[in-house]
């Protein structure tokens, strides 16, 4: 599937062409597409005082409503890098969501009917907590219909059937990428998975990891970014999150006493790359982008802010103390590997993952109207410190059945999930899902019961047009039955 692909741009990032060319191609594809996707690109870094470039792409309202995402964000050392990053994230998301919406890609079948061509069944349970992995769940997964797509197994070098919607419900957009070439996109996707895997292991296990001696970093590019943060009066720590994977993952933690919003007072971000210099550059750029993004969200859009992906919200340095502890090491002690060919670096990453019994799969999601390479890459077993990776498998099974229209079967597993985890009855989002499923299954009294429960838990749902429309439709159907 992969071909030799040489890097031609290496200023703080590895790309197959210069950012200006990426911007030109991306804008041409987005503006010439049959659907109007792109609205505008806006500079965000003026929201913050650091001065590291960050941009956001605004999405056409109809596309945003259909695909449920409104904007994408980009970062980089230069404005061109940041613009290209925001545009390519838009292409990545549009391509991925359109692929998932196109049911022509799906083969609907129980595992027992396609197991000769499918990935091992137990792989479906690798991302979730070990205490949920049992034979009853496996027996259920073997017999219920699931949606499968054709994927490429890096380990076996062949096409396999892969339950992409199952993993999407767990991992979300982790592992999605678009690139100037397929190889560039695949490497970027793998690096994002590794980055979030390592963050999750450190955060969930409250692991004490080494602190990088900042003065030992000799790269002028890295030091230039660090100086921008320091000159803004922000305290900075750099941590080695690589663990024993052999792939550099570096985290940046900042303490800002003069933050305009509490969300970014203690803030963190990370980056992964075989080249540790590029890993720390990614982390620094990610931190700057997310700070600007949170300032924009809270001060302009009046929406709640959040920590960066997989990190918790820290109130103060004391709550982040376990991250700040750890022996000091020089930057030169972090393993490093670099090769001019993307394919060689992908093979190196996959080899290091296989040593930890982690296997990668890729689905090409390139949209025909855009014709810019896009992929969804999945490594079952990679950790993700998000609520979606901690759900009871019965709830995940129910969502799979809902996605393919098997609502009567889905309600059975929703009730099993509620029996197994009664706390779900206090989660408005889950209660709403149960209500909608009962409504779709034609069981209106039960649907009304759960809609009312959701409203008790979250009275603000009365401000949701979708909730009110669903509830009104349900009352009408119940009255007509």
| Domain parsing of the chain, residue ranges | 197-339, 391-479
* DSSP β-ladder status, 266-272 and 249-255: antiparallel
For residues 387-414, give the mean pLDDT. 96
Q: Examine the pLDDT at 163 and tell me if it is beyond 90.
A: yes
Per-residue pLDDT at 481: 65
Name the CATH code of domain 391-479 (choices 1.10.10.60, 3.40.640.10, 3.40.50.2300, 1.25.40.10).
1.25.40.10
Residues 166-179 have a mean pLDDT of 97
Question: Could you read off the pLDDT of 307-341 as tens digits, one per residue?
Answer: 998 999 998 999 999 999 999 999 999 999 999 99
Instruction: Report residue 281's pLDDT band, with 50, 70 and 90 as the boundaries.
Output: very high
pLDDT at 391: 95
Indicate the pTM of the whole model: 0.95
Tell me the average pLDDT across 422-433: 95
Question: How many whole angstroms separate alpha carbon 297 and alpha carbon 20?
Answer: 28
Contact 71, 40 (CB under 8 A): no
Residue 55: band (very low, low, confident or very high) from pLDDT cuts 50, 70, 90: very high
Cα–Cα distances in Å, from 157 out to 178, 197, 294, 406, 437? Answer: 22, 24, 42, 34, 39
Are residues 269 and 307 in contact, defined by beta-carbon separation less than 8 angstroms? no
C-beta of residue 233 within 8 angstroms of C-beta of residue 257:
yes
- For 210-258, the pLDDT digits (tens) are 999 999 999 999 999 999 999 999 999 999 999 999 999 999 999 999 9
Q: CA-to-CA distance for 291 and 308, rounded, in angstroms? A: 9
| CATH number corresponding to 197-339 | 3.30.160.660
As a whole-number percent, the residues of the chain with pLDDT over 70 amount to 100
Query: What are the residue ranges of helices labelled H in 126-247?
Result: 135-143, 164-171, 182-205, 220-231
Per cent of the chain over pLDDT 90 is: 90
**Cα 254 to Cα 194, 268, 281, 314, distances in angstroms:** 22, 6, 15, 11
Query: Which pLDDT value is given to residue 390?
Result: 94
- Give the chain's mean pLDDT: 95
Over residues 271-282, the mean pLDDT reads: 98
The pLDDT-based confidence of 478 (bands split at 50, 70, 90) is confident
Question: What is the average pLDDT across 261-284?
Answer: 97
Greater confidence (310 vs 470) lies with 310
């Amino acid at each position: 599937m992969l071909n030799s692909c040489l890097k031609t741009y290496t200023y703080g990032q590895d790309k197959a062409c210069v950012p200006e060319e990426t911007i030109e191609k991306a804008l041409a594809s987005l503006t010439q597409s049959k659907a109007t996707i792109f609205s505008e690109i806006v500079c965000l870094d003026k929201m913050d005082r650091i001065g590291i470039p960050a941009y956001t792409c605004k999405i056409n309202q109809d596309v945003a409503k259909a695909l449920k995402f409104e904007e994408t964000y980009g970062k980089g050392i230069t404005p061109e890098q940041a613009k290209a990053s925001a545009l390519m994230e838009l292409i990545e998301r549009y391509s991925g969501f359109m692929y998932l919406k196109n049911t022509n890609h799906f083969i609907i079948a129980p595992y027992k009917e396609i197991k000769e061509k499918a990935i091992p069944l137990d792989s479906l349970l690798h991302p979730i907590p070990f205490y949920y992995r049992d034979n009853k769940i496996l027996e259920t997964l073997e017999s219920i219909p699931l949606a499968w797509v054709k994927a490429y197994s890096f380990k076996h070098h062949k096409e396999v059937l892969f339950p992409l919607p199952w993993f999407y419900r767990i991992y979300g957009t982790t592992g999605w990428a678009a690139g100037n070439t397929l190889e560039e996109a695949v490497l970027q996707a793998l690096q994002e998975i590794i980055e979030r895997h390592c963050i999750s292991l450190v955060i969930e296990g409250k692991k004490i990891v080494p602190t990088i001696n900042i003065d030992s970093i000799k790269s002028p590019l890295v030091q230039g970014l660090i100086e921008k943060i320091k000159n803004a009066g922000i305290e900075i720590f750099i941590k080695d999150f690589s663990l024993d994977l052999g792939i550099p993952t570096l985290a940046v933690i900042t303490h800002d006493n003069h933050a305009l919003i509490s969300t970014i007072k203690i803030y963190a971000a990370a980056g992964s790359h075989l080249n540790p210099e590029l890993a720390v550059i990614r982390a620094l750029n990610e931190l700057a982008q997310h700070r600007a993004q949170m300032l924009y969200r809270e001060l302009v859009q009046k929406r709640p802010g959040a920590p960066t992906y997989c990190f918790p919200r820290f109130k103060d340095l004391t709550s982040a103390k376990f991250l700040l502890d750890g022996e000091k090491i020089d930057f030169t002690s972090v393993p490093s590997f670099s090769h001019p060919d993307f394919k060689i670096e992908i093979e190196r990453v996959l080899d290091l993952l296989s040593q930890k019994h982690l296997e990668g799969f890729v689905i090409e999601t390139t949209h025909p109207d855009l014709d810019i390479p896009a992929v969804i890459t999945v490594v079952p077993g990679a950790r993700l410190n998000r609520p979606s990776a901690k759900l009871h498998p019965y709830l995940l099974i129910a969502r799979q059945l809902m996605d393919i229209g098997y609502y009567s079967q889905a309600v059975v597993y929703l009730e099993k999930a509620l029996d197994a985890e009664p706390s779900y009855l206090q989660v408005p989002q889950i209660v709403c899902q149960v209500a909608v499923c009962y409504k779709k299954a034609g069981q209106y009294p039960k649907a009304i019961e759960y809609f009312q429960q959701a409203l008790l838990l979250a009275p603000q749902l009365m401000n949701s047009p979708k909730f009110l429309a669903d509830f009104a439709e349900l009352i009408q159907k119940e009255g007509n039955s």
